[in-house]
Structure 1
């Protein structure tokens, strides 16, 4: 009886399937393909920035990648939701009367907590807690945009300085009061109420504490660290016009082991709070509007930076080299985008770019990392056995796009033209609906067209390399689905090509998700990336940046494990 029911079910399914009308698809399933997808050896252009835009957008508001590449290239409008708590350490309990800095985590603000010492041992300090009473309009500068790097040592504040001063003045690298006042003055026309930046943790520069935020608590906290730290953790020589502000630059990290344990604990807990936002989704208390993003990697908007990046590693990309004409174009674009953010205006196309980008990373990051591992580790397997394992991983990545007809024909044309439909299907599937819909395309803002182009470029290159590797495996008779190919190639030669292709792709993508402590940290440790202003101790190296013979740790930060409790590791 069970067998009869099963047979009837199969028969009904077959009948229904036979009666179905084929649906229309955005990407055809035919083997024929145009010339744009005919050459699997075609590399991206030398000046391409699609992968850079993709990675910076995917990294927005995440502490780890913006610590690794601290020179930001994006300005994005956003908002801070109602109910968000912000923290401000200061020397008294007065409401700030000028623009001031707030932290998104109390551990970050506590280092700025101050107050006059009493005559007894009960030394305290003031920390104010604010709550966002209505959505707060903000601008976000990516990278380590709150890190005050000396002239020539980095470009962490290039973008905001160009916006507010029209130039990067190296003499004003520590002019935080001038910077916050200038930004608040610039943004007043557009109703910008705060600026989001990142240092050890994220901060929001508030322009007016009587608008949009309410004082929730003014607490005179026990300043336990004050008993042990001499001199104070923060330099008291404030540039602030607010007598209660304790927002000067931090004192340099000591170059010896004389730091008091309390100071080490305070520094570490600030870094730990920042680490909570290391990876996706990052700092969630700020909501960005990617439909109004402005990027200095936009080669159509900022062509003058192209030659200044040529041949440089990404750590050395800076916005300060922009031409006056391009800076005027950037400012005009940003002003137009901000002017269009009224409540009655459309929020772009409605495409969830953040999720679309993340889908690509989720799909390929772990698989490419595993592929690289398989290609770069020794094994007792035969070359054929390991080759089939790798080919299986390549096929898994391409399964949703591998058409039944996509296979070489014995005696057919030479080359990998037979695999081109797989490449096109893989590269275009996520964005085909946007390109195919005239109505949706018409709603795209200039920022969204840039995001779409970056997504297309990145997907095209990922799929080109993976399909190229897979096709090579087919030719070497390593594929389990297409076991026989014409003119089988030597397996060691194929593996060598695989290794070169995989390494080149991952270097081109350069995703920070692959930057981690190896081996993984123990339960008493956390993985740490050298973070401004705690660049650690080193010897035999000068600290003048570009003219040092050997780049110091802050120049090319590399992860390492540090202890979660005392005795703390040097930062």
Structure 2
């Protein structure tokens, strides 16, 4: 094997990183962002950018650790389900899909029962009735209902009148569970380590206080559907309509319970690969991620090493990251850094070029000549065949690594960190492909054993990349939806092996007793701040 290939292979084995980007200066004396950390977390950074504001990847990689600025343009329609026709008096939730909001706009009735004090008392009884609209009282302060009084559901439609400036919290940020989906909000933004996952109104109030400080109008998060926590409904929106929904006995409700769940999931599934219609613009160059920092992201739960957590980060470390988010918000809005790079488009191009070919080589090719052809097809354009020495191959690997990023001129510090993360991934891809080329193309004695070694190298690469496209479903029937676990729905099977499911099959995975675990919140361990390494539902 030529020495350059031996060096590349050794680099892959030692650290999975082969880039030449320089280290950024730290933003604090002892702790700050660095390209070294970005390279070490390159695969995760790549996947976070690739899945930003996409339901599919954000459901599979649900413990998000990144924040972005996002804007909802003028004219976009947003939806709110509630028990009244009046504007919410404080922070409340908006949906992007009518089916999402309709879940919170259903009528309910308890003859002689209690009406919960709105809105804190509203919570879906997921255990008993799925998403069919039964509400339970979760508040001791209640108003008696008359013997046959009914509270009607209402669907509000709002039009954005001025662009909404928002903070996007990636992953399953609206997932109220103890798996780590709330780490960015509760630990990083709010500075709270032992808060209940269901304390949504307190959480919304805290997030809106931060938004006000940063001159934002709310946040975007995701559960089974994307939502906005809008801090003031009278700001930059107008109410288009507030229409009462059909009661249970109304002909308009006929057949609704039978199809509601399937059609809700169908609507959400249509946002698997984008929220659609330019309804949200993400400023990818504003990305601030814990993965840019030398912080311990290990999950204390040894049973889930795949889920990164912030519980081992010190308060001082979290404050440094939070301060950088505030700085970026100010910089992006005061004109210091205005250009944004479509980093998600870059990751899309890389995934489109390699995903199917890598899977084909890893799982299906069983002849040496076909494997040789696929490898040559992918990397021939980077090789100068007039020369054949180590320097030539090293240059070829470098051209391959920067093939999709060579024309990009990073402007902000975050751009350089994202670039470092992405190029650590392409370096891994290219180094592996050139290593495979050496095994089965350059070696004149390549045989079936060489083919096995080449396939194993590609399989190892696929395992490290963890691209979410590889877990997608084949085309489903019209009465089915490709179903992945999305809080609060989904069993373990639907997380690890998403598949086409019909309405009754989806219903079996509802509730907190499935993939998302019990509704508890054990206080995580608080690390020593001197250790700089840092070892109830609502309207919508």
Q: State the TM-score, normalizing by the size of structure 1.
A: 0.72
| Structure 1 CA distance for aligned equivalents of residues 384 and 257 of structure 2 | 61
Match of 1:543 in 2: none
The structural deviation recorded for 1:223 is 3.8
Q: In the alignment, which residue of structure 2 is the partner of 1:77?
A: 69
Q: Distance in 1 between matches of 2:82 and 2:222?
A: 19
Q: How far has the Cα of 1:402 moved from its partner? A: 2.4
Give runs of aligned pairs for residues 480-491 of structure 1, distance below 5 A.
485=444, 488-489=445-446, 491=447
C-alpha distance in 2 between matches for 1:471 and 1:107 = 54
* 8 Å Cα contact 1:38-1:420 kept in structure 2: no
Structure 1 position 509 matched with structure 2 position 465: yes
Residue 237 of structure 2 corresponds to 213
Q: Report what 2:353 is aligned to.
A: 363
CA separation of 1:284 and 1:315: change in aligned 2, threshold 3 A: farther
* Aligned-pair CA distance for 1:203: 0.5
Corresponding position of 2:208: 184
Partner of 2:393: 419
Q: 2:280 aligns with which of 286, 300, 303?
A: 286
Contact between 1:61 and 1:282, CA under 8 Å: does it hold in 2? no
Deviation at 1:281, TM superposition (A): 6.8
Q: Following the alignment from structure 1 to structure 2, what is the Cα–Cα distance between the partners of residues 334 and 36?
A: 40
How far off is 1:467 after superposition?
Answer: 1.3
Question: Which residue is equivalent to 2:47?
Answer: 55
Going from structure 1 to structure 2, the CA distance change for 1:406 and 1:121 (only over 3 Å counts) comes to farther
Residue in 1 aligned with 2:374?
Answer: 393
Confirm or deny that 1:174 pairs with 2:198: yes
Conserved? CA contact 1:401–1:422, under 8 Å: yes
- Rounded Cα–Cα distance in structure 2 between residues aligned with 1:37 and 1:212: 59
CA contact (8 A) 1:265 1:568 kept: no
Q: What's the counterpart of residue 233 of structure 1?
A: none
Question: For residues 274 and 112 of structure 1, what CA distance do their matches in structure 2 show?
Answer: 15
Q: Which residue of 1 aligns with 2:320?
A: 329
- Equivalent residues in 2 for 1:418-567, closer than 5 Å: 419-434=393-408, 440-441=409-410, 444-476=411-443, 485=444, 488-489=445-446, 491-517=447-473, 520-536=475-491, 552-553=492-493, 556-563=495-502
* 2:135 is the alignment partner of 1:144: no
Q: 1:34 to 1:327 in 2, by over 3 A?
A: farther
For residue 201 of structure 1, report the CA deviation from its aligned partner.
Answer: 0.6
Deviation at 1:570, TM superposition (A): 3.2
When the two chains are superposed, the root-mean-square deviation of aligned CA atoms in Å is 3.2
CA distance in 1, matches of 2:276, 2:468: 13
Task: State the shift of 1:510 in Å.
Answer: 0.3
Bigger relative contact order (CA 8 A; separation at least 6): 2
Contact map agreement 2:337 2:412 (CA 8 A) in 1: no
3-state SS, counterpart of residue 62 of structure 2 = coil
Distance in structure 2 (CA, Å) of the matches to 1:353 and 1:278: 18
Maintained 8 Å contact 1:123/1:226: no
Correspondence for 1:155 among 180, 203, 216: 180
Alpha-carbon spacing, 1:496–1:388, altered in 2? closer, same or farther (3 Å): same
Instruction: Report how far residue 162 of structure 1 moved.
Output: 1.8
Question: Does 1:346 find its partner at 2:302?
Answer: no
Q: What are the superposed Cα offsets for residues 368-425 of structure 1, whole Å, 9 maximum, x if unpaired?
A: 12222324x6xxxxxxxx11111111111113212223547xxxxxxx7763332122
TM-score with structure 2 setting the length: 0.76
Residues 67, 143 of structure 1: 8 Å contact kept: yes
| 3-state secondary structure, aligned to 2:81 | strand
Partners of 2:297 and 2:97 in 1: CA distance: 38
Moved more, 507-516 or 109-118: 109-118
Which residues of 2 match residues 216-295 of structure 1 at below 5 A? 216-224=240-248, 262-263=256-257, 265-280=259-274, 284-295=278-289
When Rg is computed on C-alpha atoms for both structures, the one with the higher figure is 1
Name whichever of 446-455 and 396-405 sits farther off: 396-405
Q: Measure, in 2, the Cα distance between the counterparts of 1:524 and 1:373.
A: 30
Q: State the alpha-carbon separation in 2 of the partners of residues 525 and 45 from structure 1.
A: 43
Cα distance change, pair 500–84 in 1 and its aligned pair in 2 (3 A):
same
Aligned-pair distance for 1:41?
A: 4.1
Q: CA–CA distance in 1 between the matches of 2:151 and 2:193?
A: 41
Give the paired residue count: 449
Q: Which runs of 5+ in 2 are unaligned?
A: 17-36, 110-145, 510-540
Output the CA distance in 1 between the equivalents of 2:227 and 2:314: 30
Asked if structure 2 preserves the Cα contact closer than 8 Å seen for 1:40 and 1:464, the reply is yes
In 1, are the aligned partners of 2:297 and 2:310 still within 8 Å (CA)? no
Structure 2 residue corresponding to 1:91, chosen from 83, 93, 98? 83
1:197 is paired with a residue of what secondary structure? strand
